[in-house]
């Protein structure tokens, strides 16, 4: 089994290396220094006397820094290593690396130390798809004491600048140091690697951090210390819960990045390594999860997405007036419109979710200025739902990509190509109306009715939205329910046939409130039954469906983000025990991932394995997975804003003796919640 890569990040700049600290092109790992969707370093390999050292230990000092402890490959139980090597790396605007070699012997050592370097300037889409055909030209040069790698395609220019604090022999392949170490002597150098956008950025600057132990200082927003201090303080009899909570908050802080669309605003990138960019859906879900803990994410997300709302019909970008964007990228492929992601609007759920978050933010914060300021954007989103989202005037929001070449096929959160399938494994035909999107629309209209009545001064709109929501709920429970199977269809396909696979989507329906009361118990039973519930969480698809695969991206894996909304949905319909069961299973799984829930993990049953099995290419950290433990806490404690007060109605498993959450922010100022574990699972 290959060792896990080491990842450090600062906003949308990040480094992925092996456990030596080396970077090399690999079909298994997306290694490199990345910034703004471009790989600025594809090779960074240390050798001593022609050999790569062996790793002893790797220490994650901060989210932006790591240190690597190495020895030459000659030590055995009989022969001690003559030297030790320490690499300390901190990312930010590129990265800064301190290299130290210590002679532990009583005789001198002569060493030939090399750093091999290269840069392929690959777009992140090319790295992900392993496609490296390039239309531009590469160049390399030694510029005094600096090595420069460059790539130019018309006006698109990217350069990597590398320098050393001590003299070195520099050529186009890297740096060479001829070192003489006296007995017990020590040698050091510092290496700066700068990501130079347009070949100019960083000309008079250095990497952001000079020491792995520096205090984290984000480019925008609160410092890590203020961020952690501003969040509620968690204490629990279960020490692992405290560690999971802290890990989640730190990861959310680390994933904050500049939005190039709205400079000065920080919102969460979706996840490392593939999704270090603005994602509408991911930011909306994450902000909802984090509202009772770090509410600033929600206000920023709403502002950024409102300012970049669709204004025209553009088939290439799947853009329509009023639609909320899905993704924004900045690499070569988007610059030359080989991909539509600058920005791209291929998500049919982000628009109703934008409206859901807007209302939820006001309910928690009491900030009516934001919902008033973006009234026009909210109305445009409502118009998109009815005029563009509902493609055939049947009352349901369907999707079918307009960009047939490079657009996303499935424009729901389960956006892989094979995620919407019948029970026999046959893929659904387009256009597709997935069930959970109808739930989001129902919830959005109900919530906007409240906003219209209380803040927009439009009772006529409020009455219309309430009527439309009620009619949608009535039709939905008629058209999507499968009586013989006692669950809701995953979707209606292009011929309005029910896509009859059992999936976790029914949990999102509970969260939205669209489920009739007489159907909720059946949904709850399925969600914690053996077909969907693995023991570590709710699978995306039941284990007896035709497309089921325990390591299939959306057809059998367990997604913590998904589970957090499933648990909240169960709780909303009164299924407190079932909600606690889902929450506890995921939190127990987090212990096996160093207290950090990944994007997804395998759907194997807990009876088959004593630990959750890793999904091979899961993003970690990922924003909505980092937010999942926060929403689990909200669900277990039963936190709910009611007027100007915070309602606390806990349902905590007995295995957690007690939980104390102090200083929960909201329209009430700060409030505390305390709960004892009384639910017997």
- List the strands of the sheet with 13-17, edge to edge: 6-10, 13-17, 32-35, 38-41
Q: What pLDDT is attached to residue 457?
A: 97
Number of domains in the chain: 2
Per-residue pLDDT tens over the stretch 464-511: 999 999 999 999 999 999 999 999 999 999 999 999 999 999 999 999
| Last residue of one domain, picked from the residues 180, 197, 214 | 197
Taking the C-alpha atoms of residue 201 and residue 191, their distance in angstroms, rounded to an integer, is: 18
Say what the pTM is. Answer: 0.92
Taking the C-alpha atoms of residue 155 and residue 195, their distance in angstroms, rounded to an integer, is: 17
Taking the C-alpha atoms of residue 411 and residue 408, their distance in angstroms, rounded to an integer, is: 6
Nearby residues of 13 by Cβ (< 8 Å), 6 or more positions away: 33, 34, 35, 36, 91, 92, 93, 94, 195
Q: What pLDDT is attached to residue 203?
A: 44
Which among 586, 672, 573 has a CA at the least distance from the CA of 630?
586
To 5 degrees, how large is the angle CA 61–CA 64–CA 70?
50
Q: In what helix (H) or strand (E) does residue 466 lie, and over which residues does it extend?
A: helix 459-479
Residue 160 counted as domain residue = yes
Q: What pLDDT is attached to residue 261?
A: 59
User: Do both 136 and 264 map to the same domain?
Assistant: no
User: Do both 273 and 184 map to the same domain?
Assistant: no
Which among 255, 249, 312, 234 has a CA at the least distance from the CA of 10?
255
User: Do both 357 and 467 map to the same domain?
Assistant: yes
Nearby residues of 169 by Cβ (< 8 Å), 6 or more positions away: 175, 176, 177, 178
Residue 514 counted as domain residue = yes
To 5 degrees, how large is the angle CA 602–CA 570–CA 553?
20
- What CATH number is given to the structural domain containing 459? 1.50.10.10
110 vs 18, 50, 70, 170, CA distance in Å? 27, 13, 18, 19
User: Do both 193 and 234 map to the same domain?
Assistant: no
Peptide bond into 467 cis (omega under 30): no
User: Do both 140 and 232 map to the same domain?
Assistant: no
The separation between the first and the last C-alpha atoms of the chain, rounded to the nearest angstrom, is 35
Reading phi first (left if > 0) and then psi (alpha if -120 to 50, else beta), residue 83 is in beta
Taking the C-alpha atoms of residue 510 and residue 505, their distance in angstroms, rounded to an integer, is: 9
User: Do both 125 and 236 map to the same domain?
Assistant: no
Residue 440 counted as domain residue = yes
Residue 216 counted as domain residue = no
User: Do both 269 and 368 map to the same domain?
Assistant: yes
DSSP letter for 440, please: H
SS in 3 state form for 37-51?
CEEEECEEEEEECCE
Nearby residues of 579 by Cβ (< 8 Å), 6 or more positions away: 567, 568, 570, 571, 635, 636, 651
Can you give the residue range of the structural domain that contains 116? 6-197
DSSP letter for 596, please: -
User: Do both 528 and 668 map to the same domain?
Assistant: yes
User: Do both 182 and 326 map to the same domain?
Assistant: no
Residue 515 counted as domain residue = yes
Residue 379 CA, chain-centre distance (Å), reads 28
Q: Give yes or no for a contact between 302 and 361, defined as CB atoms under 8 angstroms apart.
A: yes
User: Do both 311 and 265 map to the same domain?
Assistant: yes
- What CATH number is given to the structural domain containing 22? 2.70.98.40
Q: Give yes or no for a contact between 490 and 541, defined as CB atoms under 8 angstroms apart.
A: no
Residue 206 counted as domain residue = no
Q: For the chain, list residues with pLDDT below 50.
A: 1, 202-204
Residue 207 counted as domain residue = no
Which structure tokens are listed for 628? 């999942």
């Amino acid at each position: 089994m290959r060792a896990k890569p080491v990842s450090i990040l600062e906003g949308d700049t990040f480094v992925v290396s092996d456990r030596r600290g080396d970077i090399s092109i690999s079909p298994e790992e997306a290694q490199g220094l990345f910034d703004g969707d471009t790989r600025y370093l594809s090779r960074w390999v240390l050798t001593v006397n022609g050999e790569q050292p062996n790793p002893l230990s790797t220490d994650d000092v901060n989210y932006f820094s790591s240190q690597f402890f190495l020895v030459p490959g000659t030590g055995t139980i009989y022969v001690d290593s003559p030297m030790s090597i320490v690499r300390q790396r901190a990312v930010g605007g590129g990265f800064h690396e301190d290299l130290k070699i210590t002679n532990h012997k009583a005789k001198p050592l002569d060493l030939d130390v090399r750093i091999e370097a290269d840069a392929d300037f690959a777009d992140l889409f090319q790295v992900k798809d392993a496609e490296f055909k390039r239309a531009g030209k590469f160049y390399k040069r030694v510029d005094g004491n600096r090595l420069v790698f460059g790539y130019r395609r018309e006006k698109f220019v990217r350069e990597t600048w590398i320098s050393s604090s001590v003299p070195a022999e520099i050529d186009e392949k890297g740096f060479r140091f001829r070192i003489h170490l006296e007995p017990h002597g020590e040698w050091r150098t510092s290496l700066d690697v700068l990501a130079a956008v347009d070949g100019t950025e960083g000309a008079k600057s250095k990497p952001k951090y000079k020491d792995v132990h520096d205090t984290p200082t984000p480019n925008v927003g609160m410092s890590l210390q203020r961020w952690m201090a501003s969040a509620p303080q968690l204490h629990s009899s279960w020490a692992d819960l405290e560690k999971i909570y802290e890990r989640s908050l730190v990861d959310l802080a680390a994933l904050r990045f500049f939005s190039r669309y709205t400079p000065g605003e920080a919102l969460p990138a979706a996840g490392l390594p593939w999704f270090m960019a603005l994602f509408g859906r991911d930011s909306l879900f994450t902000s909802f999860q984090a509202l009772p803990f770090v509410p600033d994410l929600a206000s920023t997300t709403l502002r950024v997405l409102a300012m970049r709302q669709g204004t025209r019909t553009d088939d290439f970008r799947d853009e329509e007036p009023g639609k909320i964007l899905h993704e924004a990228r900045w690499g070569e492929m988007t610059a030359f419109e080989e991909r539509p992601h600058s920005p791209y609007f291929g998500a049919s759920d982000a628009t109703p979710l934008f409206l859901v978050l807007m209302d939820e933010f006001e309910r928690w914060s009491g900030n009516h200025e934001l919902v008033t300021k973006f009234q026009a954007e909210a109305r445009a989103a409502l118009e998109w739902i009815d005029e563009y989202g509902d493609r055939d005037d049947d009352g349901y929001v369907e999707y079918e990509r307009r960009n047939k070449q490079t657009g996303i096929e499935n424009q729901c959160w389960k956006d892989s190509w094979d995620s919407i399938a019948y029970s026999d494994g046959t893929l659904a035909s387009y256009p597709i109306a997935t069930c959970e999107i109808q739930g989001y629309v129902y919830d959005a209209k109900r919530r906007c009715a409240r906003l219209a009545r209380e803040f927009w001064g439009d009772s006529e709109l409020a009455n219309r939205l309430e009527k439309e929501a009620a009619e949608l709920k009535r039709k939905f429970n008629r058209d999507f329910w499968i009586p013989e199977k006692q669950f809701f269809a995953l979707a209606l396909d292009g011929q309005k046939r029910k896509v009859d696979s059992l999936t976790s989507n029914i949990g999102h329906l509970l969260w939205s409130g669209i489920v009739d009361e007489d159907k909720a118990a059946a949904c709850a039973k399925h969600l914690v039954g053996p077909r969907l519930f693995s023991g570590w969480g709710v699978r995306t698809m039941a284990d007896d469906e035709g497309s089921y695969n325990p390591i299939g991206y959306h057809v059998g894996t367990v997604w913590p983000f998904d589970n957090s909304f499933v648990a909240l949905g169960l709780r909303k319909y009164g299924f407190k025990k079932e909600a606690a069961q889902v929450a506890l299973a995921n939190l127990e799984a987090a212990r096996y991932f160093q207290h950090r829930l990944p994007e997804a993990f395998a759907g194997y049953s807990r009876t088959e394995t004593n630990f959750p099995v890793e999904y091979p290419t899961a993003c970690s950290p990922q924003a909505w997975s980092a937010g999942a433990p926060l929403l689990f806490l909200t669900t277990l404690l039963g936190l709910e804003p009611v007027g100007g007060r915070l309602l606390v109605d806990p349902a905590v498993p007995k295995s957690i003796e007690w939980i104390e959450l102090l200083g929960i922010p909201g329209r009430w100022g700060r409030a505390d919640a305390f709960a004892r574990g009384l639910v017997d699972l």
